[in-house]
Amino acid sequence: MISIFEMYKIGIGPSSSHTVGPMKATNLFLDKLKQTQALEKTARIKCELFGSLGATGKGHGSDKAVMLGLLGELPETTDTELVEARIDAIRTQKQLLLNAQHAIDFDIEHDLILHKKKFLPYHPNAMSLHAYDSDGQVLCDGIYYSVGGGFVINDDDASRQSDLFVAQHVDVPYPFNTGEELLAQCEKTGKRICEVVLENEKTYHDEVIIYEKLDAIWQAMQDCVKRGCQKDGILPGGMKVKRRAAALYRQLQKEKDELVDVSERIALYEMDWVNLYALAVNEENAAGGRVVTAPTNGAAGIIPATLHYYRDFAVTFNQKEIYNFLLTAAAIGIIIKQNASISGAEVGCQGEVGSACAMAAAGLTEAFHGTPSQCTNAAEIGIEHNLGLTCDPVGGLVQVPCIERNAMGAVKAINASRIARRGDGTHFVSLDKVIKTMKDTGKDMMDKYKETARGGLAVNVIEVPVNFIDC
């Protein structure tokens, strides 16, 4: 089983596969250098990005992620306020401090190459690293694939077609690989989905640690929403996309303060706040801020927005159900990860927003004490109505249509939960069938619609300067 904390990671924007993944891959390469005692002998490092990483790497911050990784920085701890200054220093000095301890030459123009039309086997998000000594001899090299949600595998794992996502086999008390198997475990034990997942997670961590980690995840989500609601201005990247969350927050807060009675609220007033929460998170993500990968950065706003909806508008709100929401949502993410993909470069945005929508729908249903069948029904609805969703970021930036798409995904998740809770849990299309359909649809989808910025909105928004669409 995949740990739930592989589905939720605290990191930086704007992309889990294009920013978090390359940073983690570079750290894996540093580990390899240290293990082979080659780090101190290294005089130069060359990094090449392929496929989707190469095509939209600059817009997604992949180049910066690689350099931060070479410095020894990790996604969960790097100071986002210092990123630009550190990158500028490398660019001007043409040097970097490898693993924060060993100075090497590094010329961004020659040592960090983005191949926009060249792919490596196994996955669209690929990168290679080579370390050279002072005589130009190769000391160490490695190929890595960022397979979505911050998951990284090396070339050996990919070529063996081994378990790509679990570092080691771990026996859990209630194993499940599919939605059907999850429901069977619930029926057999009488446990809720969250209880099944919690028992499995205890194989990795003590229960106290699990709740501490869940608290940290939830707090990071809340902090991200708060920051997004406070910041005005223009998002980086050159398209001059204006932040909207702060202005919307002030508008909604003013309306809230002026309301005398709940009955005066207009229909769907709560949805305005859901939109705000999602926009706030994904504007922070687009700006390279601290977010929670859930299950990806491109879809990072959906679960926080749905959780905030439950916190702020559910009469039955209970802090314990926040944990149960996250546990249940993770179960759905694990099933999708193991049977399809959460990578936009692999299956399009249906794998990112669709997966997050399904996770949030199931989690919310659990928080409202829905049955296990109602939870999987809600997840199925969440995916089904995102099938075929393309990943076509304008300018290769995680801004248009990505930010608004999270707001739409959160609203869909809430409605999917409402539909499922009005039923008895039975549904014509099973969760497993819709996951398989998503995988098949992703295989049939043309590459230009899968995070390459070569199709869809990415080439049809005429207001975007040509230099942003670098094909």
pLDDT, one tens digit per residue, over 274-296 is 999 999 999 999 999 999 999 99
Distance separating alpha carbons of residues 120 and 106, to the nearest angstrom: 24
Asked if the structure places residue 37 within a domain, the reply is yes
Distance separating alpha carbons of residues 151 and 165, to the nearest angstrom: 7
Distance separating alpha carbons of residues 217 and 12, to the nearest angstrom: 13
Q: Looking at 190-298, list the stretches that DSSP marks H as alpha helix, in order from N- to C-terminal side.
A: 193-201, 207-230, 245-258, 269-286
Same domain for 89 and 188? no
Task: Centre a 10 Å sphere on the Cβ of residue 46 and count the other Cβ atoms it contains.
Answer: 17
For tokens 């929403």, what's the residue? Answer: 225
Asked if the structure places residue 417 within a domain, the reply is yes
Same domain for 290 and 341? yes
Asked if the structure places residue 402 within a domain, the reply is yes
3-state secondary structure of 369: coil
Distance separating alpha carbons of residues 255 and 233, to the nearest angstrom: 23
Asked if the structure places residue 425 within a domain, the reply is yes
For tokens 């605290």, what's the residue? Answer: 10
The DSSP code for 228 is H
Distance separating alpha carbons of residues 434 and 235, to the nearest angstrom: 35
3-state secondary structure of 283: helix
Same domain for 283 and 189? yes
Residue 82 pLDDT? 94
Question: Where does a domain end: 99, 125, 160?
Answer: 160
Asked if the structure places residue 82 within a domain, the reply is yes
Tally the domains of the chain: 2
CA separation (Å) from 296 to 153, 199, 301, 354?
Answer: 16, 25, 9, 11
Confidence band of 258 (pLDDT split at 50, 70, 90): confident
Q: Which residues pair with 143 in a beta bridge?
A: 128
Distance separating alpha carbons of residues 397 and 392, to the nearest angstrom: 9
CA separation (Å) from 412 to 161, 274, 308, 393, 423?
Answer: 35, 11, 15, 21, 17
3-state secondary structure of 287: coil
Distance separating alpha carbons of residues 1 and 175, to the nearest angstrom: 7
Question: Where does a domain end: 130, 160, 190?
Answer: 160
Assigned token pair, 295? 């299950």
Question: Where does a domain end: 160, 190, 217?
Answer: 160
Confidence band of 461 (pLDDT split at 50, 70, 90): confident
Asked if the structure places residue 170 within a domain, the reply is no
Same domain for 318 and 461? yes
Kindly state the average pLDDT of the residues 336-358.
96
Residue 202 pLDDT? 97
Same domain for 372 and 449? yes
User: pLDDT digits over 391-443, tens only?
Assistant: 999 988 999 999 999 999 999 999 999 999 999 999 899 999 999 999 999 99
Separation of CA 250 from chain center? 28
User: pLDDT digits over 111-151, tens only?
Assistant: 999 998 899 988 899 999 999 999 999 999 999 999 888 88
Confidence band of 267 (pLDDT split at 50, 70, 90): low
The answer to whether residue 471 scores a pLDDT higher than 60 is no
The residue segments making up the domain with residue 79 are 13-160
Neighbouring residues of 424: CB distance < 8 A, sequence distance ≥ 6: 373, 374
Same domain for 201 and 148? no
Same domain for 185 and 317? yes
Neighbouring residues of 59: CB distance < 8 A, sequence distance ≥ 6: 237, 393, 395, 396, 397, 398, 453, 468
Same domain for 33 and 105? yes
Share of the chain above pLDDT 90, in %: 83
Give the range among 73-82, 166-175, 357-366 with minimum mean pLDDT. Answer: 166-175
Same domain for 140 and 202? no
Distance separating alpha carbons of residues 177 and 93, to the nearest angstrom: 50
Q: What CATH number did the domain enclosing 38 receive?
A: 3.30.1330.90
DSSP assignment string, 380-405: HHHHHTTTT--B--GGG-S-TTHHHH
Same domain for 191 and 117? no
72 contacts 157 by C-beta, under 8 angstroms: no
Same domain for 106 and 134? yes
User: pLDDT digits over 23-33, tens only?
Assistant: 999 999 999 99
Residue 57 pLDDT? 87
Same domain for 114 and 203? no
Residue 470 pLDDT? 39
Residue 210 pLDDT? 98
376 contacts 358 by C-beta, under 8 angstroms: no
Residue 261 pLDDT? 55
Asked if the structure places residue 166 within a domain, the reply is no
Maximum separation of any 2 CA atoms in the chain, in Å: 76
Distance separating alpha carbons of residues 462 and 465, to the nearest angstrom: 8
> Judging by DSSP bridges, how do beta strands 125-132 and 44-50 pair with one another?
antiparallel
Asked if the structure places residue 129 within a domain, the reply is yes
Residue 421 pLDDT? 98
